[in-house]
């Protein structure tokens, strides 16, 4: 693709829109902006601009559109697939300064926010009003627009669904600079193709989210976590479809292995309540009465014990729950700290195929003699599997990673799964999306992209 290189006139224009203090060129750009959380895909933008209003975003996009300059929107850069890396250079549009909570509407149960508000700020804000924003991805310092653009799911998807289900409306800036509102504070909508749902999960390739209207729920009054040790991981995971079949829906069902727990303990410098077993299920139940929750977890506890669980540890204090969930939140960082480099696979499979898939990753570990660590959302079939480089040479690492990924994504397809449950496709996962969708499917995605972005200037090289 032939994009226009940034020149001094472009910089002048950007300064005329945003002022000198929010336009960064060349060495003024922090190296962090060359990659995302996982790293591996590296490229600095030619210029990085911090926008603070929809109007600025619109002006910049119109200019970039007219001059054929690529634009990469960016939040906190916590992604794992290179979605926010400016692989074609050009302008990086940093939206983290658009970080105001605009309005809480308690009569419509909506929260209107700017794109750069952090997930942890949203939960803190709404919980203070006895309200609840259910999506709960592990990375709490991600921006809401990042979550919207990957359709992040998180722990509570089992009961509450994913980010898509909590986006009622969006203000977006199209690649040509047009500002548009899609959806709104409304509960239903059948008014033409759902542009809102097209933007959710589009990884910043179709439009830039400049405002979001989120759906809230009343905050459940009580929550309880169960930590359930099993003799081995297969036994733990095979219990999950039985739980689902029992017609009890927990809020979250995570699985974890001792190795991940030990790594998290070391990383956090804090103790996990139990690490005597090889494998654990971690479940949460929430609701409005103690009775309601107790009757649910009592049933599930019996199912687990009948399926070979060694014990059922109930965490009903805030403190104990926090120590468990904090460890769970640190798995990614902890595994990352235990090796030289790693890459991730975020497939999603039907819930009753999780055990099959994890067993297969263990086979691959043996077959390729490579460390593979996993944890994830057993309750919704979304796995986070990490392949560790350790002391391999660059060449050996590329080879083994390619082979292992080819096997894993192939198996996920066989099991009726998809390439990504919540991290997205970005730059890194495109080959696997092509294998999954086929050429005709990719052609359709590309045509949709062109419907929004006929000059292919918005986050080019990502998704399709």
Q: Which of residues 214-243 bind a copy of itself (CB under 8 A)?
A: 217-219, 241
The answer to whether 206 contacts a copy of itself (rule: CB under 8 A) is yes
- For a copy of itself, which stretch binds (CB under 8 A), given 29-37, 50-58, 155-163, 393-401? 155-163
Contact present, 288 and 231 (Cβ < 8 Å): no
* Interface pick for a copy of itself out of 188, 269, 391, 393 (rule CB under 8 A): 188
Nearest approach, Cβ of 295 to a copy of itself (angstroms)? 8
Contact present, 83 and 420 (Cβ < 8 Å): no
DSSP 22: G
Closer of 81 and 370 to a copy of itself (Cβ): 81
Which residues in 416-445 contact a copy of itself (CB under 8 A)? Answer: 416-425, 433, 436-437, 440-441, 444-445
Which residues in 122-141 contact a copy of itself (CB under 8 A)? Answer: 130-131
DSSP output for 103-151: EEETTTTEEEE-TT-BHHHHHHHHHTTTEE---B-S-TTSBHHHHHHHT
Provide CB contacts within 8 A for 109, sequence distance 6+: 131, 215, 216, 217
- For a copy of itself, which stretch binds (CB under 8 A), given 1-9, 38-46, 182-190, 334-342? 182-190
SS3 state at 63: helix
Which residues in 293-312 contact a copy of itself (CB under 8 A)? Answer: 295
Nearest approach, Cβ of 188 to a copy of itself (angstroms)? 4
The answer to whether 21 contacts a copy of itself (rule: CB under 8 A) is no
Nearest approach, Cβ of 357 to a copy of itself (angstroms)? 12
262 burial (CB, 10 Å; 0-12 / 13-18 / 19+) is middle
* Interface pick for a copy of itself out of 121, 197, 294, 333 (rule CB under 8 A): 197
Closer of 197 and 341 to a copy of itself (Cβ): 197
Contact present, 253 and 379 (Cβ < 8 Å): yes
In 3D space, the residue among 70, 56, 209, 82 whose CA is nearest the CA of residue 147 turns out to be 209
SS3 state at 253: strand
Nearest approach, Cβ of 348 to a copy of itself (angstroms)? 5
Closer of 148 and 370 to a copy of itself (Cβ): 148
DSSP 182: E
Contact present, 47 and 24 (Cβ < 8 Å): yes
Closer of 47 and 349 to a copy of itself (Cβ): 349
Backbone angles phi, psi at 462, to 5 degrees: -110, 150
Nearest approach, Cβ of 288 to a copy of itself (angstroms)? 7
* Interface pick for a copy of itself out of 29, 152, 170, 224 (rule CB under 8 A): 152
Q: Which regions of 304-381 does DSSP assign to beta strands (E)?
A: 313-315, 342-345, 372-377
In 3D space, the residue among 357, 66, 358, 87 whose CA is nearest the CA of residue 205 turns out to be 87
* Interface pick for a copy of itself out of 9, 32, 192, 391 (rule CB under 8 A): 192
* Interface pick for a copy of itself out of 54, 277, 315, 382 (rule CB under 8 A): 382
Q: How big is the site for a copy of itself, counted in residues (CB under 8 A)?
A: 89
The answer to whether 88 contacts a copy of itself (rule: CB under 8 A) is no
Which residues in 333-372 contact a copy of itself (CB under 8 A)? Answer: 346, 348-352
């Amino acid at each position: 693709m032939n994009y226009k290189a940034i020149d001094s006139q472009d910089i002048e224009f950007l300064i005329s829109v945003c002022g000198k203090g929010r336009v960064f060129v060349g060495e003024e750009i922090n190296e962090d902006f060359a990659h995302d959380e996982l790293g591996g895909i590296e490229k600095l933008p030619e210029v990085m601009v911090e926008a603070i209003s929809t109007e600025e975003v619109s002006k910049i996009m119109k200019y970039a559109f007219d001059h054929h300059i690529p634009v990469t929107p960016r939040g906190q850069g916590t992604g794992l697939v290179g979605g926010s890396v400016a692989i074609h250079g050009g302008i990086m549009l940093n939206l983290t300064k658009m970080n105001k909570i605009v309005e809480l509407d308690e009569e419509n149960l909506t929260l209107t926010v700017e794109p750069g508000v952090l997930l942890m700020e949203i939960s803190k804000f709404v919980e203070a009003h006895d309200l609840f924003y259910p999506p709960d991805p592990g990375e709490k310092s991600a921006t809401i627009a990042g979550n919207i653009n990957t359709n992040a799911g998180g722990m509570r998807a089992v009961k509450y669904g994913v980010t898509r289900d909590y986006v009622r409306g969006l203000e977006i800036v199209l690649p040509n600079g047009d500002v548009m509102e899609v959806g709104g504070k409304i509960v239903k909508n059948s008014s033409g193709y759902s542009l809102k749902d097209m933007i959710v999960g589009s990884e910043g390739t179709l439009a830039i989210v400049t405002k979001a209207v989120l759906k809230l729920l009343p905050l459940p009054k009580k929550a309880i976590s169960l930590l359930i040790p099993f003799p081995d991981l297969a036994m733990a995971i095979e219990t999950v479809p039985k739980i689902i079949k029992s017609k009890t829906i927990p809020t979250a069902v995570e699985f974890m292995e001792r190795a991940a727990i030990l790594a998290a303990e070391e990383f956090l410098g804090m103790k996990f309540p139990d690490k005597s077993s090889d494998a654990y299920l971690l479940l949460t139940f929430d609701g409005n009465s103690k009775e309601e929750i107790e009757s649910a977890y009592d049933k599930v506890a019996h199912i687990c014990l009948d399926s070979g669980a060694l014990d059922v540890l109930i965490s009903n204090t805030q403190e104990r729950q926090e120590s468990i969930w904090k460890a769970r939140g640190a798995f990614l960082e902890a595994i990352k700290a235990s090796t030289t480099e790693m890459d991730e696979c975020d497939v999603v499979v039907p819930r009753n195929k999780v055990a099959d898939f994890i067993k297969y990753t263990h086979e691959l570990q043996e077959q390729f003699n490579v460390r593979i660590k996993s944890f994830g959302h057993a309750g919704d079939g979304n796995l986070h599997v990490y392949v560790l480089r350790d002391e391999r040479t660059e060449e050996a690492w590329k080879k083994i990673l390619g082979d292992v990924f080819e096997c894993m994504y192939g198996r996920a397809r066989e099991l009726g799964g998809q390439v990504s449950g919540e991290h997205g496709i970005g730059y890194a996962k495109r080959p696997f999306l092509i294998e999954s969708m086929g050429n005709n499917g990719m052609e359709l995605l590309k045509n949709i992209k062109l419907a929004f972005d006929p000059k292919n200037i918005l986050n080019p090289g990502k998704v399709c």
